Amino acid sequence: MSKHYEKGMRCVTCHDPHEVTSNDWKSGVTRPAIRQNCQDCHTVQAEMVANADTHSKVDCIACHMPFTMSCENFTAIQRPDMAGFDAVRRSHLFKIEVDPEKKMMNPAPGQSRASNSKGWRIARDEEGHGYVDLMWSCARTSIADFTVVEGQGCHSPFQSELDQGLIYQDQKEIYGEVMKWQNPIKEGHKKNVEAQTRINKLLEVTKLTPEQRTEAMLLLDKAADIIKQVEKDGSWGVHAFNYTKQRVDTAQAYLTKAQSIIDQGGYVKASAAK
């Protein structure tokens, strides 16, 4: 159900089939031996998370591969905005759907979300891929999930040991918090892309000295690197908001300086430009 499968990944891409557990025998948790981690492929995302001031000690799988229930055993105490309790299987869906209402687990058509409803199934997005909803990613209740237990219960309304302001009661509340991160990044990034496009066009019709053109191009290249980094990360600040915001602001400063250099130049007629 994931893009990873479509790209050719299989179980043994990441898991060692000859090693059941790689943890210390005294540990109460069984961890499978891993041949390849998320960070080995997602290097840009790893760089972002390495600069995070929140979630800096949380592994990728904590949010992207939460322990979930199986569809055939989805009969624990439920309410519309709850994720838990009998969560004993790590999901391999990876994608987090940033939406205030979409749910990862849904009952059969016409059934309520009551615990005795039948026909539970994993939802799919428009491309046919499964996904993890925000409640399961951020605020699930699971005593079997070591990433939740070691993370002070994460943001679970039942299990969290964090400050009250970090305990989320429903998915809409989590969505609101995510928007506080994503909206400023998306807005700043959009302005940078527009400025990048404008400056590239202006360079074609502006007369500059070799030194001015070189400096403007260097600044433009630096901004382009940041723009690509933010786009490839794809979390729009969720992985590391403060660091991402600094990067976006830095790109804006580069572009502003490049624009000021161009403003000092003269207009080149179309025929001369050709």
pLDDT digits (tens, 9 = 90+) for 168-184: 999 999 999 999 999 99
Spell out, as residue ranges, where the chain has pLDDT lower than 50.
77-78, 80, 270-272, 274
Q: In this predicted structure, what is the pLDDT of residue 171?
A: 94
| Pairs from 233-238 (Cβ < 8 Å, separation ≥ 24) | 233/44, 233/45, 233/48, 234/45, 235/45, 235/48, 236/181, 236/182, 236/185, 236/186, 236/189, 237/181, 237/182, 237/184, 237/185, 238/178, 238/181, 238/182
pLDDT digits (tens, 9 = 90+) for 3-62: 999 999 999 999 988 877 666 767 666 677 889 999 999 999 999 999 998 887 888 999
Q: In this predicted structure, what is the pLDDT of residue 78?
A: 47
- 67-68 vs 105-106, strand pairing mode: unpaired
Q: What are the structure tokens assigned to 272, written together?
A: 């001369």
Q: In this predicted structure, what is the pLDDT of residue 118?
A: 79
Q: In this predicted structure, what is the pLDDT of residue 18?
A: 82
pTM > 0.85: yes or no: yes
Q: In this predicted structure, what is the pLDDT of residue 266?
A: 78
Q: In this predicted structure, what is the pLDDT of residue 84?
A: 67
CATH top-level class of 182-273: mainly alpha
